[in-house]
Structure 1
């Protein structure tokens, strides 16, 4: 049982050694893309909220 656990961690370490890790620039670019998408989505959803709030206010 202990040998299987040790082998698992050895194989996991070997697999991580083969991973191609992103560069710092790639991480920064990805983060910027996610933040930009989030801000755009917030603006669009906020606009929809204002429109629907106005339309529902007309019904009252």
Structure 2
């Protein structure tokens, strides 16, 4: 059971990262529950930082 939960959270992080790379606003987070929302926003922040450092082009 824990593996499934971890996989969902990793997927939320990855989706947030993709949203950040593509320049979408953090207000577009599709999650309402606290934990997946936190992972999504973490991915989004990581992507925005990577874009500002020039590591990826959005």
TM-score range relative to shorter protein: 0.3 to 0.5
Larger radius of gyration: 1
TM-score for both structures, normalised by structure 1: 0.39
Structure holding more helix per residue: 1
